[in-house]
Structure 1
Amino acid sequence: MQSKKIIVLEDDTAFRKLITSEINKVEAFECIGTFSKIQELMQAVPDLFPDLFWLDISLPDGLSINSIPQLKEMFPNALCLICSMHDDDDKVFTALKSGADGYLLKNSSFEVMMTSINELFQGGSPMSPFIARKVINHMKTENRHDPLKEQLTKREYEILANLAQGFQYKEVAHQLSVSLETIKKHVQNIYKKLHVQNRTEAIIKFHKK
């Protein structure tokens, strides 16, 4: 049986070597290329014809999840497995919506990682337990009727939810990777839409939803 061809995109040199070594230990797998930057991968990939992309998220030249749609377009049958230390909602759901077929955290054992690759090739969608719980909770939340979600944009709702948890503007700006001024503008829009005068009134409305 022909080995499944795997490409590894990972900028941590030590981890890249380790995961490549683990992949090549499996008789059914073959690592046909390793890259530390997205641009290097995109330049080389047309000649490689992989069965699976092993993708870290944060690379020196950007986020790999932004390239998943292009990779899927080039190789419709290829699978994309995220292996990252990022476990925040934004990265997780962006990755899955972009077409990732599985999502592992880097604290997973090598045994779990290799088993997950097998699961992918057998039609599964492996996820670390913490990520799977996030997805389930997200689906539960999506199914609940929340009038605030109809009044606010997704970003405004996200900001208000963070404020309701006690985070300050600066902390929310850092979490969402936007400027403090952007947060303040969103907050003013939230006040107008909810017909409130201040943060306390907005949070009260959030908790009453």
Structure 2
Amino acid sequence: MKLVLCDDHELILDTLGAALSGLGYDVVTTHSPAEGLEAVRDMQPDACLLDVNYPNGSGLDVLPLIRQASPGTKVLIFSADTSSSAVRTAIALGASGYVRKDRGLLHLIEAIDLAIGGHLAVEPGALQAALRTVDAADDPLWTLSFLTDREWEVLRCIADGLGTDEIASFLNVRRSTARTHVQNLLTKIGVHSRLQAVALVAAHGADINWPPHVRRA
């Protein structure tokens, strides 16, 4: 797996780069958002670990450019800044994960694997805090920014009236896995039942920007 690490702290780069290389990752280290963007453009890595705060700017400013330069690269924020605003902004800009620097290496590897697998790698507490800072009355569709590709598919299935068995068949997964996907979706969009999810889609359907892979023909 190819990784680009972007951090302005030399010790973090050296230590983390050596640890990940020792586990078989193909690692390139960079010291600034501009260097990280260039490395991603050249390498087209599986994932990019990007800090938020740099002496001359924010990693969040370059996040959309990284995704544009390499659409297949999963960008994970790896930062000591765990403020709700930073988490919320990162995910809204397309980050696939947000990992605290004080977590261990195994936690980071798990987050990378989750992101590569198409999941949103954010600790539940951090995600819930980010969600709570947005008033649903101001933007009832804000939480859709947090959905993974798979969860968008599940939302489409629910909106189309599919039951658990039908969702499992459509996604080609086990019934228990389908139920987990459904529950994750309901939690993220802040509703307690499939009926409420359907009501949300029905009330705001014209304003929902469905991803191409789930958009109806």
Same fold, TM exceeding 0.5? Answer: yes
1:1-209 equivalences under 5 Å are 4-27=1-24, 29-31=25-27, 33-138=28-133, 142-143=135-136, 145=137
- AA of the residue aligned to 2:36: L
The 1:132–1:10 alpha-carbon spacing in structure 2 relative to 1, beyond 3 Å, is same
Please say which of residues 17-26 and 79-88 is displaced more in the overlay.
17-26
Aligned residue pairs, count: 139
**What are the superposed Cα offsets for residues 101-158 of structure 1, whole Å, 9 maximum, x if unpaired?**
10011111111011111111122211134312313434xx533x47xx9xxxxxxxxx
Structure 1 residues without counterparts, runs of 5 or longer: 150-209
Preserved contact between residue 6 and residue 32 of structure 2 (Cα < 8 Å): yes
Partner Cα distance (2:95, 2:8) in 1? 19
The 1:43–1:74 alpha-carbon spacing in structure 2 relative to 1, beyond 3 Å, is closer
- AA of the residue aligned to 2:52: I
Give the TM-score, by structure 1 length. Answer: 0.60
Structure 2 residues without counterparts, runs of 5 or longer: 140-217
Preserved contact between residue 47 and residue 74 of structure 2 (Cα < 8 Å): yes
CA RMSD of aligned residues (A): 2.0
1:64 deviates by 0.8
Which residue of the partner structure matches residue 168 of structure 1? none
Instruction: Work out which of the two has the higher radius of gyration on C-alpha atoms and give 1 or 2.
Output: 1
Preserved contact between residue 105 and residue 128 of structure 1 (Cα < 8 Å): no
Preserved contact between residue 80 and residue 102 of structure 1 (Cα < 8 Å): yes
Identity over the aligned pairs, expressed in percent?
Answer: 22
1:80 deviates by 0.2
Give the TM-score, by structure 2 length. Answer: 0.58
